[in-house]
């Protein structure tokens, strides 16, 4: 392939970045056209980690298919499961006990923090600083331990079942979460000292990969990518699910549209998530953790759509049911796919280093894009 | 007292008395060559180990701790692995240049070793243009890097090599100016003279603020010239996977790797010689007793300690900062370092004329 | 003023860089902050709920609680579990279904916990063991009921 398209008619160099490349965070394949160091075109090629999750889900029943979605956006797997469970519950018209709702939201926000922490370390690594990665993982480990204790797994939790939760939270849950909050609040200034305030980091990200508000809307960018461009797109605010309506938190918005704006949105979101957790952690209501459901779930004929805010943006789950025990057709609207589509637009005219900075702040998770 | 100097003298004397003049000279040359290669191997291993330990501690890890006590043989084991590996030459590569490039880089690094004073009167060659020689020869390495990048027939390598060339050529300037400012103060290019001029105080102290500025600029320039983070654009693994040595494997890769560390050592040795008085012990004015105690520490240890301190500084940079972008790198040199060092050189010249440094 | 801006930029740059270096320097000098766990020597403390593999606990009389109802087999999304049943005749001459082999294929298992949830008689549980590497993948196919084991009294 390299031999055939070494250069194009204008004498520009064509380089394959990926599918095995340190900064594509997985098997993303970018064919970039370069004029010297300047990026003229970025063409993402997908399909290296396509597992046809949507098709697989059609042969699994409504209890089984949820676990597969942990493998899409593996950094917010809990939130993926949540989205699927919401869709099934919508079809079943189930009333979820408030204890289950609160715990779901708590774990959602913990997942969001963990995902953003990993992103923070990985972004710094993309920009050439290795040390932040380890500092990020130190705090992320605490969340992983909480997850391990309550859900039994660190990454692909599969803790949510239609109707509530698989089991009750661990007795130590509240104490551990509080300890995490104390620890993370005491360490978050390191994020500023080491990365945010660093002049090199700022000059690498400010004014880089600019996505205007209009473009963000037309590309369908959601999550921190959209909010970095000033698009108010937080599903937790716009279409509140579970108990988000009763919670006090701000939608972090930045108007810059550049990589630094997206960076600041994510840092702000971590703090907002901590605020949400602080509101809830002492107020977990007593009661059941699971609603009464039938052994075999059957959705009525029709189509159902639910959406949640994952760490990367809006995840939509669309189920068409024929009334059977398995979905007739299922479709996920993954945030990474739309965000990636804006990459070409954002990185044109920048340097190769800018492309990496832009890609880093898009926070791509390739299995989420490919599914 | 046994010192490197007296050992050297004794050896030379013995050789001359047993073999006669021309043969003794030849044997000395061979011995020096062997010693240099041994030094390289040991330095490479030690510095890689040090880098890994420093990185680990900064990253709240433990670092190598399995092979040997505290993992000191880890780097030897790694080298062994690299030697055993196949040194692959890609099909489309220019075979001669591809295989020659690592050796050129290595040779350039070895040549610079000649004028460095490791201890009192312990030098391979006390050249009268010592500092100039170092500045000139160390830039040969860029040819090796360019050769490696071009001959690999790989676009990542090519980009890395081009970046490296632009970078080294630019940073040579401010490194040169920083060296020059000390030459102005010392009044000589000969390394032994420069060291001797610091007998009553190192230039970084005697030279007041301008010398400090020159030192900072020198340190930045050395970091850039050795292609290390935050200036590791030539390698930039998150952008160019491994830059100019993407296609290299086995021992050929190890030579590049070794040359990088040797270059750091040499850069820091020059820095220690120019700004911290090389092997000269730390003396304070008229505190005779204190000075005596300082003199008691062997001069080779002084030299090694200062050099290692500078190496540590450079490692500290690497494990703290993100990488610059290629245009920012050149901006930094041409818009900040070069003007500052030029003005600084003027100040230093003024200082030297007025005799403030004495 | 151009010159003051220039000097301010240089000063601010150095300040921010030194701040970062202070942080890494702090961790360099404070060895107690090290978070490495020396894995094979120091065993990780796993949560009791940690899902490592499916096991079937047996009591001291080599009895398990599995009735062979295949609820787990139906619940499993991947076909990890295969239950082969046989008919046993008990002391009173009644025919009774019992398990012959409970085949568990570890390489297919995603530790989703659905089988454990589905089991009506708590015959299978998740164990903490996470070190599954073997040299031959046939070893991944495990038979969970021990040879000669019987169903526990009173489990229906």
Q: What average pLDDT does chain A have?
A: 86
Q: What is the pLDDT of residues A253-293, one digit of tens each?
A: 888 888 899 898 999 998 889 889 888 888 888 888 888 88
Among A199, A203, A293, A326, which would you mutate to test the C interface (most chain C Cβ atoms within 10 Å of its Cβ)? A199
Residue A242 has pLDDT above 80, yes or no: yes
| pLDDT on residue B58 | 87
Q: What is the pLDDT of residues B286-306, one digit of tens each?
A: 777 777 777 777 777 888 888
Residue B250 has pLDDT above 60, yes or no: yes
**Beta pairing class for A29-35 and A164-165:** unpaired
Q: What is the pLDDT of residues A69-101, one digit of tens each?
A: 888 888 888 899 989 888 888 888 888 888 888
Residue B236 has pLDDT above 80, yes or no: no
Q: Which of C19, C47, C126 sits opposite A197 (nearest CB)?
A: C19
Mean pLDDT of B247-263: 85
Q: What is the pLDDT of residues C18-33, one digit of tens each?
A: 888 888 888 888 888 8
Q: What is the pLDDT of residues B107-136, one digit of tens each?
A: 888 888 888 887 777 777 778 888 888 888
| pLDDT on residue B29 | 81
pLDDT confidence of C43, banded at 50, 70, 90? Answer: confident
Among the listed residues A173, A141, A178, the one whose alpha carbon sits nearest the alpha carbon of residue A159: A173
Chain B residues close to A22, C-beta within 8 Å: 237-238, 241
d(CA A262, CA A231): 12
| pLDDT on residue C127 | 87
Does residue A145 fall inside a structural domain? yes
Question: How buried is A144 (Cβ within 10 angstroms: 0-12 exposed, 13-18 middle, 19+ buried)?
Answer: middle
For residue A20, the domain's CATH number is 1.10.645.10
**A150 contacts C49? CB cut-off 8 A:** yes
Question: What's the fold here for domain C53-148?
Answer: Alpha-Beta Plaits (3.30.70)
| pLDDT on residue A170 | 85
Q: What is the pLDDT of residues A112-163, one digit of tens each?
A: 999 999 999 888 888 888 888 888 888 888 888 888 888 888 888 888 888 8
| pLDDT on residue B1 | 54
Secondary structure of residue A332 in the 3-state scheme: strand
Nearest CA in chain C to A160: C112
User: Measured between CA atoms, how close is B237 to chain A, in angstroms?
Assistant: 7
Question: How buried is C29 (Cβ within 10 angstroms: 0-12 exposed, 13-18 middle, 19+ buried)?
Answer: exposed
d(CA B57, CA B37): 30
Residue A4 has pLDDT above 60, yes or no: no
| pLDDT on residue A2 | 44
Nearest CA in chain B to A24: B238
Chain A residues close to C16, C-beta within 8 Å: 197-199
Mean pLDDT of A32-49: 86
* Edge-to-edge strand ranges of the sheet holding A302-309: A302-309, A314-321, A329-333
| pLDDT on residue B357 | 65
Domain boundaries defined on chain B: 1-84, 86-354
Q: Which of A67, A138, A145 sits opposite C112 (nearest CB)?
A: A67
Does residue A8 fall inside a structural domain? no
How many contacts (CB atoms, under 8 Å) link A and C? 69
User: Measured between CA atoms, how close is C81 to chain A, in angstroms?
Assistant: 14
Mean pLDDT of B253-274: 87
Is the model more confident about A1 or about B99?
Answer: B99
One-letter-per-residue 3-state SS of chain C = CHHHHHHHHHHHHHHHHHHHHHHHHHHHHCHHHCCCCCCCCCCCCCCCCCCCEEECCCCCCCEECCCCCCHHHHHCCCCCEEEEEEEEECCCCCEEEEEEEEEEEHHHCCCCCHHHHHCCCCCCEEECCCCCCCCCHHHHEEECCCCCCEECCCCC
Q: What is the pLDDT of residues B214-226, one digit of tens each?
A: 888 888 888 888 8
Does residue A5 fall inside a structural domain? no
Chain B residues close to C35, C-beta within 8 Å: 60-61
Residue A6 has pLDDT above 70, yes or no: no
Chains contacting C with at least 3 CB pairs below 8 Å?
A, B
| pLDDT on residue C15 | 84
Q: Which of B156, B163, B238 sits opposite A356 (nearest CB)?
A: B238
CA angle centred on B346, ends B343 and B350, rounded to 5°: 145
Q: Domain span at residue A204?
A: 13-370
Chains contacting B with at least 3 CB pairs below 8 Å?
A, C
Among the listed residues A41, A64, A16, the one whose alpha carbon sits nearest the alpha carbon of residue A344: A41
Chain C residues close to A145, C-beta within 8 Å: 47
Residue A7 has pLDDT above 80, yes or no: no
**B57 contacts C27? CB cut-off 8 A:** yes
Q: Are A31 and A12 spatial neighbours (Cβ–Cβ below 8 Å)?
A: no
d(CA A253, CA A258): 12
Is the model more confident about A311 or about B300?
Answer: A311
| pLDDT on residue C140 | 87
**Beta pairing class for C150-151 and C63-64:** parallel
Mean pLDDT of B303-324: 88
| pLDDT on residue A1 | 41
Chain A residues close to C75, C-beta within 8 Å: 63-64
Q: Which of C10, C27, C36 sits opposite B336 (nearest CB)?
A: C10
Q: Are A322 and A93 spatial neighbours (Cβ–Cβ below 8 Å)?
A: no
Does residue A4 fall inside a structural domain? no
d(CA B28, CA B34): 10
Count the domains in chain A: 1
ipTM of this complex prediction, to 2 decimal places: 0.81
CB-based contact, C120 to chain A, within 8 Å: no
Task: Find where tokens 């060092």 sit.
Answer: B341
d(CA C137, CA C80): 14
CB-based contact, C25 to chain B, within 8 Å: yes
User: Measured between CA atoms, how close is C135 to chain B, in angstroms?
Assistant: 24
**B156 contacts A198? CB cut-off 8 A:** no
pLDDT confidence of C156, banded at 50, 70, 90? Answer: low
Does residue A6 fall inside a structural domain? no
Nearest CA in chain B to A131: B59
Least confident of A46-55, A128-137, C141-150: C141-150
């Amino acid at each position: 392939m390299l031999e055939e398209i070494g250069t194009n008619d204008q004498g520009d160099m064509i380089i394959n970045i990926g599918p095995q490349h340190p900064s594509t965070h997985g098997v993303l394949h970018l064919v970039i056209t370069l004029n010297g160091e300047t990026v003229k075109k970025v063409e993402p090629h997908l399909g290296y980690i396509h597992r046809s999750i949507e098709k697989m889900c059609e042969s699994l029943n409504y209890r089984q298919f949820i676990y597969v979605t942990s493998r899409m956006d593996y950094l917010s797997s809990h939130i993926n499961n949540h989205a699927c469970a919401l869709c099934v519950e919508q079809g079943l018209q189930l009333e979820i006990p408030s204890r289950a709702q609160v715990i779901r939201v708590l774990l959602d926000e913990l997942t969001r923090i963990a995902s953003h922490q990993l992103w923070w370390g990985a972004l710094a690594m993309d920009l050439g600083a290795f040390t932040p990665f380890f500092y990020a993982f130190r705090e992320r480990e605490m969340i992983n331990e909480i997850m391990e204790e309550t859900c039994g797994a660190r990454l692909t939790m599969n803790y949510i079942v239609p109707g509530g939760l698989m089991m009750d939270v661990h007795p130590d849950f509240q104490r551990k979460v509080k300890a995490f909050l104390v620890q993370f609040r005491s360490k978050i200034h390191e994020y500023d000292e080491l990365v945010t305030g660093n002049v090199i980091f700022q000059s690498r990200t400010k004014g880089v990969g600019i996505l205007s508000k209009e473009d963000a809307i037309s590309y369908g960018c959601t999550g921190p990518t959209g909010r970095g461009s000033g698009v108010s797109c937080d599903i937790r605010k716009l279409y509140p699910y579970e108990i988000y309506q009763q919670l006090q938190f701000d939608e972090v918005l930045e108007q810059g549209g550049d990589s630094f704006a997206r960076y600041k949105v994510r840092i702000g979101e971590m703090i907002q998530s901590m605020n949400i957790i602080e509101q809830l952690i002492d107020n977990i209501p007593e009661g059941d953790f699971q609603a009464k459901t039938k052994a075999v779930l059957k959705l009525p004929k029709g189509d159902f759509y639910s959406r949640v805010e994952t760490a990367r943006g809006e995840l939509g789950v669309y189920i068409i049911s024929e009334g059977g025990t398995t979905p007739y057709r299922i479709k996920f609207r993954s945030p990474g796919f739309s965000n990636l589509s804006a990459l070409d637009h954002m990185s044109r005219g920048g340097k190769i280093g800018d492309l990496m900075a832009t890609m880093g702040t898009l926070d791509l998770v390739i299995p989420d894009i490919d599914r | 007292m046994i010192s490197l100097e007296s050992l050297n003298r004794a050896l030379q004397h013995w050789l001359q008395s047993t073999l006669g003049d021309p043969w003794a000279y030849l044997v000395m040359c061979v011995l020096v060559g062997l010693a240099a290669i041994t030094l390289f191997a040991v330095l490479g291993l030690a510095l890689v180990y040090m880098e890994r330990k420093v990185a680990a501690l900064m990253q709240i890890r433990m670092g190598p701790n399995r092979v040997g006590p505290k993992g000191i043989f880890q780097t030897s084991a790694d080298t062994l692995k690299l030697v055993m590996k196949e040194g692959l030459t890609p099909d489309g590569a220019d075979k001669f240049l591809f295989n020659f490039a690592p050796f050129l880089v290595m040779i350039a690094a070895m040549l610079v070793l000649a004028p460095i004073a490791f201890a009192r009167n312990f030098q391979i060659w006390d050249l009268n243009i010592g500092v100039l020689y170092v500045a000139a020869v160390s830039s040969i390495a860029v040819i090796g890097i360019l050769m490696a990048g071009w001959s690999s027939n790989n676009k990542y390598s090519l980009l890395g090599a081009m970046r490296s060339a632009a970078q080294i050529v630019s940073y040579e300037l401010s490194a040169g100016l920083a060296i020059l400012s000390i030459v102005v103060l010392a009044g000589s290019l000969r390394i032994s003279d420069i060291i001797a001029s610091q007998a009553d105080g190192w230039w970084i102290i005697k030279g007041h603020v301008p010398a400090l500025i020159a030192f900072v600029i020198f340190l930045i320039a050395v970091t850039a010239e050795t292609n290390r983070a935050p200036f590791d654009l030539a390698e930039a693994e998150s952008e160019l996977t491994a830059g100019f040595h993407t296609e290299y494997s086995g021992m050929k890769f190890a030579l590049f790797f070794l040359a990088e560390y040797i270059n750091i050592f040499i850069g820091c040795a020059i820095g220690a010689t120019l700004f911290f008085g090389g092997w000269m012990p730390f003396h304070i004015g008229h505190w005779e007793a204190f000075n005596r105690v300082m003199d008691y520490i062997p001069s080779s240890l002084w030299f090694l300690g200062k050099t290692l301190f500078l190496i540590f500084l450079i490692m500290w940079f690497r494990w703290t900062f993100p990488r610059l972008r290629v245009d920012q790198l050149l901006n930094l040199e041409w818009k900040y370092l070069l003007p500052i060092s030029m003005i600084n050189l003027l100040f230093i010249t003024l200082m030297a004329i007025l005799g403030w440094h004495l | 003023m151009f010159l003051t801006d220039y000097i301010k930029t240089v000063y601010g740059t150095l300040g921010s860089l030194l701040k970062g270096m202070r942080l890494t320097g702090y961790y360099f000098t404070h060895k107690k902050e090290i978070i490495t766990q020396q894995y094979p020597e120091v065993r990780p403390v796993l949560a009791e709920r940690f899902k490592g593999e499916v096991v079937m606990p047996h009591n001291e009389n080599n009895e398990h609680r599995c009735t062979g109802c295949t609820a787990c087999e139906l619940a499993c999304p991947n076909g990890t579990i295969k239950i082969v049943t046989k008919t046993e005749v008990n002391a009173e001459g009644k025919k009774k279904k019992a398990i012959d082999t409970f085949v568990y294929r570890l390489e297919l298992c995603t530790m989703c916990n659905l089988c454990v949830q589905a089991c009506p008689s708590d015959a299978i549980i998740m164990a903490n063991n996470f070190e599954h590497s073997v040299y031959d993948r046939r070893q991944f196919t495990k038979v969970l009921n021990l040879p000669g084991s019987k169903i526990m009294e009173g489990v229906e």
